[in-house]
Amino acid sequence: MALREINVDGIIGPSHNYAGLSFGNLASTKNAGQVSQPRAAALQGIDKMRANLALGLAQGIFLPNARPNRSWLAELGTDYEHADAPLAAAAMSASSMWAANAATVSPGPDTTDGRCHLTAANLRTMPHRSHEWPGTLAQLKIAFADPAHFRVHGPVPPAFGDEGAANHMRLTSKHGERGLELFVYGVTGGAFPARQHLQASKAIARLHGLDPASTLFVEQSEEAIAAGAFHNDVVAVANENVLFAHELAFADRAGLVGFCESRLPGFELVEVPAAEVPIGDAITSYLFNAQLVTPPDGEMTLIVPTEARETPTVWSWIERHIAGNGPIRRVEVVDVRQSMANGGGPACLRLRVVADPATVDPRFIVDDAKLDRLAEVIRRTWPIEIDNADLQKPSLATDVEAARTALLEALDLTELA
C-alpha cells in the first residue's frame, strides 16, 4: 500500500458562533459574545485545504455535525426553543470543526494487527463538546469502513476524559514506517482543568494494540495548562523525526527526550526557549498549533496562522530558524481568524491519518474541483453572521439545518442526516 499522511479537516459549520463555552481556552473566553461570521469562517477553512493541496498533501474532510443537537436536548428534557440559554448554545456549538479532537489515530505500522485504528474522543470535560462523539463516530465508520485496513473504536468510558489527537503525537523516520506514539496527559493546571486523563490514554494504547516499548505517556506541564495550553497541540507538534515544542511544554522534558533519542535514530528536538518566545506569546499566536508537514518535495513545512506573523517574538524566532540549518525549512501562513477567535488554529482543524487514500471512502477525500463545489454550497447557504442574542431564534436553527442538508446532498452523504 502507498501509505501517506492525510490531513482530514473539519468543515466549519453553519452554526459557528462565539458563545465562550470553553473554560481554559483563552481565545474562546476573550471573544465571548462577539458576532461570528460562519460563511467567512468556512471559506477560510476551504482556502487552508487548497493551500495543503498546493503543497502536494493528501486532503480529506469531516462534515459538521447536526446542529442544534435536538436529540441531546431531548435527553435533557427540553428542546432548543425552551432550553436555558447556555444549554441551547451548547447544543448549537460548531466545535466539531476542530477535527484534531475527533479521534486518536494509530497507523497500521504501529499496531499488532497491521490496521489503522481510530478511537473517537469522548470530550467529556466540556458540556458543549461532550455530545459530539456520536456524530463523529458515524463519520469515522463511513470514511474508514474498509475492515482490511481500518478498525474504528467508540469512545473510552466517560469516567476518563479523552480529547483525541490534540494530545497525541507520533514520531517516525517516515510516515509509512513503524513509529513511536506519545500520549500527553494533564494532572492539574491551576485554575484551568486538565482535559486529557492518563487512564484514557492508556486505554487507547491497549485498544490500538501498540507496542509498550514504543509508547510513552507524557505529562503536560502544569505551567503550560495554567497559561492556557488546554491541549498539548497548543505547545507542541511532531512530524516524522522532529518534535517541535516549547521549553515549558512537558513536566519531564529530559525523560521524553531520552526516550525518543534511544528509540528513534535521527530524532530531532526543535525547542523554542521561553526566553525567546514567552509561553503567553506562543499560546496567543498558536505557533505550535500549526501543521508541521512533509510535502512530496521533502521540505518540512510549518503552516502557521496569520497571528504568528503578527507576534514579533514568534515571527523573529521563525525567521531565525528558517535562515539557519534547522529541520523546518519552509513556513506558510494561512488566514483562519474566525477559527482562531474561538480558540482553534490550523492544527485544531485537522486530524492526521496515515493510510492509503485509496482505502478511504472517496466522499471524504477532496481535490480542488470538490472544494469548488463545497465553497459554492457554503456561499449559498451558510449564514453570514450570527449574533449570540439570536442563537435561540427558530429561524436560525432552520437555516443552519438547511445549510448542512445542502452540504450532505452535495457530497452524497445523506445517510448522515
Q: Specify the pLDDT at position 35.
A: 93
What would the DSSP string read from start to end of 349-383? TEEEEEE-GGGS-GGGB--HHHHHHHHHHHHHHS-
Q: Per the residue annotation, which of 5, 131, 132, 163 is the catalytic one?
A: 163
Q: How far apart are CA 347 and CA 350, in angstroms?
A: 6
Tens digit of pLDDT for each residue in 236-292?
999 999 999 999 999 999 999 999 999 999 999 999 999 999 999 999 999 999 999
Range of the domain at 299: 4-416
Q: What is the overall mean pLDDT for the chain?
A: 94
Give the 3-state secondary structure of residue 305: strand
By percentage, how much of the chain surpasses pLDDT 90? 89
The angle at the Cα of 104, spanning 226 to 74, to the nearest 5 degrees, equals 85
Q: Residue 338: pLDDT above 90? A: yes
Q: Residue 63: pLDDT above 70? A: yes
Q: How many residues does the chain have?
A: 417
The three cell numbers locating residue 212: 509498550
- Confidence band (pLDDT; 50, 70, 90) for 170? very high
The three cell numbers locating residue 308: 504568528
Residue 319 annotated as catalytic: no
Q: How far apart are CA 393 and CA 157, in angstroms?
A: 35
The three cell numbers locating residue 104: 486518536
Q: Per the residue annotation, which of 231, 246, 260, 307 is the catalytic one?
A: 231
Q: Residue 26: pLDDT above 70? A: no
Tens digit of pLDDT for each residue in 87-138?
999 999 999 999 999 999 999 999 999 999 999 999 998 899 999 999 999 9
CATH code where residue 32 lies = 3.75.10.20
Q: Specify the pLDDT at position 161.
A: 94
- Confidence band (pLDDT; 50, 70, 90) for 29? low
Tens digit of pLDDT for each residue in 124-158?
988 999 999 999 999 999 999 999 999 999 999 99
Checking 258-262 for CB contacts under 8 A at 24+ apart, the result is: 259/180, 259/216, 260/171, 260/180
Residue (of 400, 391, 286, 341) closest to 39 by Cα position: 400
Secondary element (H or E) of residue 170: strand 168-172
Residue 117 annotated as catalytic: no
Q: Per the residue annotation, which of 116, 168, 208, 348 is the catalytic one?
A: 348
- Confidence band (pLDDT; 50, 70, 90) for 228? confident
Q: Tell me which residue has cell 490514554.
A: 201
DSSP one-letter code for 149: T
Residue 163 annotated as catalytic: yes
Q: Residue 22: pLDDT above 90? A: no
- Confidence band (pLDDT; 50, 70, 90) for 344? confident
Q: Residue 194: pLDDT above 70? A: yes
Q: How far apart are CA 310 and CA 330, in angstroms?
A: 17
Q: How far apart are CA 240 and CA 264, in angstroms?
A: 10
Q: Specify the pLDDT at position 341.
A: 85
What's the distance, Cα to Cα, between the start and end of the chain in Å? Answer: 33
Number of domains in the chain: 1
By percentage, how much of the chain surpasses pLDDT 70? 96
Q: How far apart are CA 44 and CA 339, in angstroms?
A: 9
Q: Residue 21: pLDDT above 80? A: no
Q: How far apart are CA 32 and CA 74, in angstroms?
A: 26
